[in-house]
Amino acid sequence: MRFIILIICSITLIFPLSCFAALDYGKQSLLGTDFSGSDLQGATFYLTDLQDANLSDCDLQNASLYGAKLKDTNLSNSNLREVTLDSAVLDGTDLTNTNLEDSFAYSTQFENVKIQGADFTNVYLPKDVLREFCKDASGTNPFTNRETRETLECDYI
């Protein structure tokens, strides 16, 4: 019995359990949940209701927020690099100082979104969304040191 426990402990030290389990919050109602400061890399929030949730200072790289409802959600100072936001609803969402580099945001709905200091490098956005964002775009992302207006290519619209 001790031998089996020793093997299990050794494997756990070599391959932590976090390597085996992806975080799946798909199709849940997580209204007002506080995830602030969490490591949520690769997590799935497929069709999840995250209204009024706090996801500030989170690492969400490679996460899926496909179809997520992000009304009044705080995503400030978070890493959303290579995140799937397809069909998500961002209404009143705080993206201040967020890195969205290389994220996929096809058919994402943006309404009243705070984008000061956000980095949209290589994020395809429809012209109407770009025009709206460029009206108020300002700031420099503290992680990538890129200006929001430049990452949106506001001078070319």
Angle 20-63-38 from CA coordinates, rounded to 5°: 75
The residue type at 6? L
Per-residue pLDDT at 157: 80
* Residue burial 88-111, b: 16+ Cβ < 10 Å; e: rest: bbbeebbbbbbbbbebbbeebebe
Q: Which domains does the chain have, with CATH numbers?
A: 24-156 (2.160.20.80)
Q: Rounded distance, CA 79 to CA 43, Å?
A: 13
Query: 13-17, 18-22, 136-140 — which is least confidently predicted?
Result: 13-17
Phi, psi of 109 (to 5 degrees): -95, 125
96-105: pLDDT as tens digits:
999 999 999 9
d(CA 69, CA 62): 18
Q: Within 10 Å of residue 68's Cβ, how many Cβ atoms?
A: 29
Residue 22: predicted pLDDT: 75
| 51 and 28 Cβ atoms separated by less than 8 Å | no
Greater confidence (85 vs 13) lies with 85
Strands 89-91 and 109-111: parallel
**Dihedral sign of CA atoms 87, 134, 147, 90 in order:** negative
When mean pLDDT is compared across 15-29, 64-78, 86-100, the lowest value belongs to 15-29
This prediction's pTM: 0.86
Model confidence pLDDT, tens digit, residues 53-62: 999 999 999 9
Question: What stretch of H or E contains 127?
Answer: helix 127-136
Q: Would you say residue 69 has pLDDT above 70?
A: yes
**Residue-level pLDDT at 2:** 40
* Mean of all residue pLDDT scores within the chain: 90
